Amino acid sequence: MNTAVKEIEINIDSQKVIQELYEVYAAKLMAYTRKNYTVSEDDAMSLVYKTIYRMAEVQNRYSFENEQKRNAFVFKMHINYLRNYYRDNKSFENRNFEVELKDFESAKEEIAADTNPKLNLLQQLLDQMEDWERILLLMRGQDIPYSEISKFVNKPEKQLKVYYARLKKKLLEDMNETLNKINGGK
């Protein structure tokens, strides 16, 4: 059979593995994808399934020192699928239709009114950071080792600890300063 998609032979053992992987990773990968990428729910779920099935297929080829390394591997695999998705769908902008700006602004205001103001502030501060800074803060918050993070941010591992401490301190200071301004300096 000469097809573009490689079929995975599913037997009882692989069904158990897939189920275990789904239970552990599906919700996390889906939440990450929906939060950080503009992907439809169906496409996001499809990418999550691709990651899980691929992990089930290659699980016997790899061994991991600990669960964090395994999580980082799955996360990296998922990001690669997301990158492939965007590369393959470059013509996405050409297929989109224009939306009236006033509709978008009113929807944006409704969403902003429903969310926690402290979370909005944190999101704004994170959005102002460079990509590598956000990645460092978020991945370190997940207890991913600096050695793994250095692969994502292209910074020396030895300097990441200092960068992390400075970024965390600056983020907390900016949050407190802004909250104090909002609350009238209380």
| Whole-number pLDDT of residue 61 | 84
pLDDT, tens digit (0-9, with 9 covering 90-100), for 51-103: 888 888 887 788 878 888 888 888 888 888 888 887 877 644 444 444 444 44
CA distances from 179 to 122, 123, 127, 137, 185 (A): 11, 14, 17, 21, 8
C-beta pairs of 45-53 under 8 Å, 24+ apart in sequence: 47/78, 47/81, 47/82, 47/85, 48/78, 50/81, 51/25, 51/77, 51/78, 51/81, 52/18, 52/21, 52/22, 52/25, 52/26, 53/8, 53/18
pTM: 0.44
pLDDT band at 29 (very low <50, low <70, confident <90, very high): confident
Q: State the pLDDT at residue 105.
A: 52
